[in-house]
Amino acid sequence: MFKFLKNVSREMKKVSWPKGKELTSYTITVIATVAFVAVFFFLIDLGISQLLNLL
């Protein structure tokens, strides 16, 4: 177990972490994408619900 954790620690030091501007850009992109998908599915759900209420 300790060998595994030591290897994980060694690999984590090799990771290229994003800088501040990149992190902000990625965060905004993710939030915008999630918001778009949420609104899209809300509208689809609303449309299907209205269609089923007409039947």
Q: What is the tens place of the pLDDT at every residue in 41-52?
A: 999 999 999 999
- Confirm if 9 and 17 have CB atoms less than 8 A apart: no
Whether 26 and 18 have beta carbons less than 8 Å apart is answered as: yes
Task: Output the six-digit token pair for 14.
Answer: 């090799």
pLDDT in tens, 8-27: 999 999 999 999 999 999 99
Label residue 4 by pLDDT band (50, 70, 90).
very high
Question: 């949420």: which residue's tokens?
Answer: 38
Contacts of 18 (CB under 8 A, 6+ apart): 26
- Res 55: pLDDT: 86
Q: What is the pTM of this model?
A: 0.67
Report domain extents, the chain: 18-55
- Determine the Cα–Cα distance for residues 13 and 6; give it in Å rounded to an integer: 11
* pLDDT computed for residue 47 by the predictor: 97
Amino acid in the structure at residue 46: L
